[in-house]
């Protein structure tokens, strides 16, 4: 038995024409440990947006019902040569109800249940998902469970990464995001010191209201001094940066070195011995990362991605993280949304020009069957 529904597909051609459109798709019956999920809610995460817009000029795109046609800068299009002509489904995660299941035991056990899943085509009426990766939501609503994978696992992954590398303090940039708020709660629960970097007073107040001890505002004149002060107090020589482009990572490394250098008894042309590390886990800013030669040679900048992190965990750790997420869905791991859109509405100019800005606290939720 097959099921038919609409799903969002992104297409990019070699000449830079990008199309985002709803397409009718026939989903085959699930086999083995697959389940077919009727998708009820899916968040638009920054990690989805790159595939959807790739920084295209949205103001001058062509909009028609269920379709957006954009033109990419030739250089940007060339940089993504490996996806030319290969239609991409969109939507990392979401929640819905299992309406069909393969013969596998794990799949059968989920039949009829509401689950969170990571199908890669969450912006769709239906999605085939791996039962292994589904999280049963119990009595939680689809909206409560829609964001139970990417942000919670990423935030938990930061703390796990820090612990593995021997740190008990971390810096987080763009810290007022849904993810940042989660991380703030997790760090308080786990007694990890967290230096939150925000860019508005309102964001600083939000985090302080949620118990954050260290919040620094990059718009303040003495930001770098504040940041160094917080690093000095917490000993946070490891940080996570979702912005990527520009100088956020550089600024953190400079502040770390400023703290370490102040503690040196003599000058070294090579900088301090203090290892300093920043992970870039997103590209909210697609411009190049700028690293100035101002912190010697004791530094590392590295990409951080959820899937390789999860692959590095043993099964017991993974099950522990998952269990922790489910039991905290309405507290530690709660997400909030600015608005809800259905599949057609998410392709309107007003909507995409708003959510593509990825403003803090203004996340969209897609409800495919509304």
* Residues near its own copies, by CB under 8 A: 47, 50-51, 79, 82-83, 86, 88, 244-245, 250, 261, 264, 266-267, 269-270, 273, 280-281, 283, 286-294, 296-305, 307-308
Number of other CB atoms surrounding residue 306 within 10 Å: 17
Asked if 19 contacts 347 with a C-beta cutoff of 8 angstroms, the reply is no
Phi then psi dihedrals of residue 12, to 5 deg: -130, 130
The one-character DSSP state at 55 is: T
Work out whether strand 299-303 and strand 276-280 pair parallel, antiparallel, or are unpaired.
parallel
Triad 139, 158, 236: Cα angle to 5°: 135
Residue among 140 and 258 whose Cβ is closer to its own copies: 258
CB 297 within 8 A of CB 274: no
At closest approach, how far in Å is the CB of 306 from its own copies?
9
C-beta closer to its own copies: residue 54 or 100: 54
Element (H, E) at 351: helix 349-355
| 3-state SS class at 102 | coil
The Cα–Cα gap between 297 and 269 comes to 10
Given the complex with its own copies, which of 40 and 241 has the nearer CB atom? Answer: 241
In the complex, least distance from residue 200 CB atom to its own copies, rounded to whole angstroms:
25
Closest separation in Å from C-beta 154 to its own copies: 12
Nearest to its own copies of 304, 364 (CB atom):
304
For its own copies, the closer of residues 27 and 299 by Cβ is 299
Work out how close the CB of 308 gets to its own copies at its nearest, in angstroms, rounded to a whole number: 7
Query: How far is residue 105's CA from residue 126's CA, in Å, rounded to a whole number?
Result: 21
Q: Which is nearer to its own copies, 49 or 68 (CB)?
A: 49
Instruction: Work out whether the CA dihedral 299, 302, 306, 307 comes out positive or negative.
Output: negative
Q: Which is nearer to its own copies, 306 or 321 (CB)?
A: 306
N residues, the chain? 370
Q: What's the min distance (Å) between Cβ of 215 and its own copies? A: 27
Taking the complex as a whole, the smallest distance from the CB of residue 151 to its own copies amounts, in Å, to: 16
C-alpha to C-alpha distances, 367 to 94, 292, 344, 364, nearest whole angstrom: 10, 44, 10, 10
CA–CA gap between residue 203 and residue 332 (Å, rounded): 18
Burial class (CB in 10 A: 0-12, 13-18, 19+), 326: middle
Using DSSP, state whether 246 is helix, strand or coil. strand
**Closest to its own copies by CB, 76 or 111:** 76
271: which 2 tokens? 């900088």
Q: Which helix (H) or strand (E) holds 198?
A: strand 193-198
Residue 234 or 272: the one with the smaller Cβ distance to its own copies is 272
What's the alpha-carbon Rg for the chain, to the nearest Å? 22
Q: How near is the Cβ of 216 to its own copies at its closest, in Å?
A: 21
Q: Shortest approach of its own copies to residue 304 CB, angstroms?
A: 7
Nearest distance in Å: CB 292, its own copies:
5
């Amino acid at each position: 038995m097959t099921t038919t529904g609409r799903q969002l597909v992104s297409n990019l051609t070699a000449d830079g024409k990008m199309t985002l459109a709803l397409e009718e798709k026939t989903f085959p019956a699930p086999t083995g440990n697959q389940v077919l999920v009727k998708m009820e809610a899916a968040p638009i995460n920054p990690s989805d947006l790159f595939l959807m817009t790739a920084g295209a000029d949205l103001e001058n795109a062509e909009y028609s019902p269920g379709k957006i046609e954009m033109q990419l800068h030739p250089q940007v299009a060339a940089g993504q040569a490996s996806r030319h002509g290969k239609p991409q489904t969109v939507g990392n995660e979401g929640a819905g109800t299992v309406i069909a299941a393969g013969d596998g035991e794990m799949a059968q056990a989920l039949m009829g249940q509401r689950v969170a899943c990571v199908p890669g085509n969450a912006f769709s009426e239906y999605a085939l998902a791996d039962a292994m990766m589904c999280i049963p939501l119990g009595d939680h609503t689809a909206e409560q469970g829609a964001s139970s994978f990417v942000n919670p696992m990423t935030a938990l992954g930061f703390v796990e990464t820090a612990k593995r590398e021997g740190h008990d303090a971390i810096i987080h940039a763009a810290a007022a995001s849904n993810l940042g708020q989660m991380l703030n709660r997790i760090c308080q629960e786990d007694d990890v010191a967290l230096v939150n970097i925000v860019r508005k007073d309102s964001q600083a107040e939000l985090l302080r209201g949620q118990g954050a001890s260290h919040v620094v505002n990059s718009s303040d004149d003495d930001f770098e001094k504040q940041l160094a002060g917080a690093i000095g107090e917490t000993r946070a020589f490891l940080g996570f940066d979702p912005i990527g482009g520009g100088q956020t990572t550089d600024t953190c490394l400079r502040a770390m070195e400023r703290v370490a250098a102040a503690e040196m008894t003599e000058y070294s042309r090579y900088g301090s011995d203090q290892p300093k590390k920043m992970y870039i886990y997103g590209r909210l800013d697609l411009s190049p990362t700028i690293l100035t030669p101002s912190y010697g040679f004791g530094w590392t900048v590295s990409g951080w991605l959820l899937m390789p992190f999860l692959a590095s965990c043993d099964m017991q750790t993974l099950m522990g993280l998952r269990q922790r997420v489910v039991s905290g869905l309405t507290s530690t791991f709660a997400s909030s949304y600015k608005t809800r859109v259905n599949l057609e509405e998410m392709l309107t100019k007003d909507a995409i020009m708003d959510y593509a800005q990825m403003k803090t606290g203004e996340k969209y939720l897609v409800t495919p069957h509304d």
